[in-house]
Structure 1
């Protein structure tokens, strides 16, 4: 699709030819090219722009709370083709790296997802693991260790979710602060050698972490919403893929009116027109679940929510001698690999492993080797070759990938450098914000919005443990009358207000400046989702 002239910092539309994500190698036949109706609906109670984790769960919550709503979801490309379908395949709250109330919010988000997968038997390869955060900067490790100590003293319930592993005699880690309920075997494994990171300065282990197939999670949610149409439920859910939104416009109405289905949402005195190449949709409520692409529709956000390209490789595990008695390589944990000795904020990588028989290592990061660190890039049709070489060759320098790795032998393990063969290499567009927090709420007129326009976006690479409950919060706002007193479960730092916008612009540096200096990494690191 042709891209219009953009202002400085503004994102374009999602490109037609994105790199192929590992998670898109098994697409849903139901969703591929799906358009619930041949023609684009002319009106709707709510229009959702974007079909990733935010948009899909927002639709779920809307229909759960008000089944009679007529919802139209428009997606520029195929369903779940943006950041959710192109991420690192893991979900993990930042227990010690966020303010305690935000850590609690993220933990609730994680547990909601985990329980939903279990309740509905969602076939998304969810695997609960422990999350190992390996620090190769002593300075950064000591900072994070201090944060865990703070939790132990002031928030013991949160502290029970983490353990600190330090260098000890003969490879044995100092487990001060680790949960007392660990059995002996678990405590023995909690050494740097046992965690496959013998050369790290230290580690923090989180007990609540998971790897998953993110596209299949969202496909299940969307297919369930579509199935409700066939079951004769009230209202409707209409998914229109390959339908980019090119613009929004608002008109005041002469009289207040309720939405077409007669539901009990707030009264509306304006109407939004959603413009697409296939026609327009009139609606009183629009929710933008557009993450890094938000500024294309709201240019006023060009300095507040910046598209940033990340890159990931699916790597074949190193070859090992064939022995029927040997199980396949299983690294057992998910990993964050952060910091370098000379620069605490130079590296922010992440790793999960697919189950056998392929057992591919999904390794992402290396943004320090990308042009401009990927900041301001909204085109995911290509990859950065220097990042590709880094991802192929760096993992074995940080993680012990041997089949029989050292558990705690008293001798430091020796890592063997090996270049790994990729089966998939792809890029994806994240949305980085100046204060590293999402923007959730009504968009004020000063930012191109007005009554009825909502935004839930800008996760700074940490969307999986934030997006679902953020979507629930924005739905609660959308369905609440202006004069109603309803408690919204959302960290106040996430709420979209003009006061916050003014504060961010006055106090926080531009994303590109802060990212280049490492300032965005003060909360452990944004590239985590």
Structure 2
């Protein structure tokens, strides 16, 4: 009889570039108290970007709250500790989808919110003097295949976005499109015929959110790492019991900041937020005294699942993520990519994708040898409609429970305000739609959204059917 598939974080995970300091940081395995608290007001599940930010806003808005945060592994060791370090709003990318789903005002809310995130994160870093290599720069999106259908689609999306009267004028002023030789010169990408550039940033995400967690603990947060939440059950008096191998905790409110692992605890989201494995690596010049430097962060896009993202760190290290097609087996098997929570390994096929990556794609690197210094995998949470789920879970019969999850591989410019919205729901005892504007309405949880077909998954299966000899 087959074993039931589990959707919890695994031990023995690959170590990312960002987690290189983890073993030197005692706080990574912090437990505020030796035993779990018997009861708290709010219990947050997950210590990444969403969990840390939710705890931050809860304690900022109501310092008297008894807040606990349980993490299955070490602090910030999930997607937050293994992403690309890219604080990059999409702006035009996927704008056509938002326009179709949400209308002109709804699509503008998404774009404006992502723009605001950039400055809000910078303010948190500046106000708290957080050492996380935060670097304000510009993103540059290029297209290595000039004939790819993605080029025309994104250009039309950009034109439509710039024509939207509800999008911030100051953002539009900073958005530029270059063509031909100018695009190649500015981007240093000899294959592209077009380049979109706009404000973005990079950072060391693990350092940023470890710092925020430390601030929260100083304000009274009870942080319990290496404490896997296995289930959450209700009581007769309207409270919740959070179960772990170390014991249980009773709480009035539960916040699921579980992203790619959501379906492990909320079966209602089994086809709504699906885990997907990704691969990322760090690349260094073989001669570290002569390292070319790219002034932009990058997106290298195609219509296939092989779009990449890249940042150039202040120390010269390149962080590159993507190459998703390398996770699909030759026979079309996607089990090591889609609906997968195994971040304990990286395939040899994926490793080969990053060999001479920079030399092949950027003119300034064409005479520079490089080495992949570290490569890792991570688990992302992809949703049925490309948008995150934020708000109360009353719609599935879980009054007092909330969710901040499903960021579709694009959490850095979306999570902060989503966490703030849920924290405000709790401290003001309101539903997310009753709040003064905090997040795009398209992020709100609804039963209708949860039960919609997974169009993202449909797209994956369509691609596999068209490009592979699928024998699933």
- The answer to whether the 8 A contact 2:355-2:372 is kept is yes
**Correspondence for 1:18 among 13, 19, 36:** 13
Which residue number corresponds to residue 396 of structure 1?
Answer: 359
SS of aligned partner of 1:350: strand
Asked if 1:79 corresponds to 2:75, the answer is yes
Deviation at 1:346, TM superposition (A): 4.0
Asked if 1:118 corresponds to 2:68, the answer is no
Whole-Å separation in 2 of the counterparts to 1:298 and 1:5: 19
Which residue number corresponds to residue 48 of structure 2?
Answer: 52
Which residue number corresponds to residue 477 of structure 1?
Answer: 425
- The answer to whether the 8 A contact 1:444-1:497 is kept is no
Which residue number corresponds to residue 512 of structure 1?
Answer: 457
Per-residue CA shift, 1:76-119, capped at 9, x if unaligned?
00000100001001101111223322010111112100111122
Which residue number corresponds to residue 415 of structure 2?
Answer: 467
- Structure 1, unpaired ranges of 5+: 174-190, 229-235, 254-269, 403-414, 520-529
Taking a change above 3 Å as real, the CA distance of residues 337 and 444 of structure 1, as seen in their structure-2 partners, is same
**Correspondence for 1:154 among 164, 170, 173:** 164
The residue correspondences of 1:273-422 to structure 2 (distance < 5 A) are 273-319=241-287, 328-339=291-302, 344-356=303-315, 359-371=316-328, 372=334, 374-402=337-365, 415=366, 420-422=370-372
Per-residue CA shift, 1:225-248, capped at 9, x if unaligned?
1223xxxxxxx3100000000111
**Correspondence for 1:142 among 133, 139, 152:** 152
Structure whose alpha-carbon radius of gyration is higher: 1
- The answer to whether the 8 A contact 2:276-2:339 is kept is yes
Whole-Å separation in 2 of the counterparts to 1:106 and 1:420: 33
SS of aligned partner of 1:374: coil
- Structure 2, unpaired ranges of 5+: 96-106, 329-333, 465-472
Per-residue CA shift, 1:196-238, capped at 9, x if unaligned?
11211211111x211110000001101111223xxxxxxx310
- The answer to whether the 8 A contact 1:72-1:240 is kept is yes
- The answer to whether the 8 A contact 1:364-1:391 is kept is no
Which residue number corresponds to residue 66 of structure 1?
Answer: 62
Whole-Å separation in 2 of the counterparts to 1:122 and 1:482: 32
Whole-Å separation in 1 of the counterparts to 2:261 and 2:61: 28
After TM superposition, the score normalised by the length of structure 2 is: 0.88
Whole-Å separation in 2 of the counterparts to 1:518 and 1:120: 45
Whole-Å separation in 2 of the counterparts to 1:317 and 1:160: 35
Which residue number corresponds to residue 202 of structure 2?
Answer: 211
After TM superposition, the score normalised by the length of structure 1 is: 0.79
Deviation at 1:441, TM superposition (A): 1.1
SS of aligned partner of 1:148: helix
SS of aligned partner of 1:436: coil
- The answer to whether the 8 A contact 1:43-1:281 is kept is yes
SS of aligned partner of 2:236: strand
Whole-Å separation in 2 of the counterparts to 1:353 and 1:518: 31
**Structure whose residues are more often helix by fraction:** 2
Which residue number corresponds to residue 227 of structure 1?
Answer: 218
Which residue number corresponds to residue 100 of structure 2?
Answer: none
Where do 4+ consecutive residues of structure 1 move more than 6 Å? none
Whole-Å separation in 2 of the counterparts to 1:432 and 1:346: 13
- The answer to whether the 8 A contact 2:109-2:439 is kept is no
Taking a change above 3 Å as real, the CA distance of residues 241 and 401 of structure 1, as seen in their structure-2 partners, is same
CA RMSD of aligned residues (A): 2.2
Which residue number corresponds to residue 407 of structure 1?
Answer: none
**Which shows bigger deviation, 143-152 or 423-432?**
143-152
Whole-Å separation in 2 of the counterparts to 1:485 and 1:393: 52
Asked if 1:452 corresponds to 2:447, the answer is no
- The answer to whether the 8 A contact 2:143-2:191 is kept is no
User: How many pairs are equivalent?
Assistant: 438
Whole-Å separation in 2 of the counterparts to 1:468 and 1:485: 19
Deviation at 1:433, TM superposition (A): 0.4
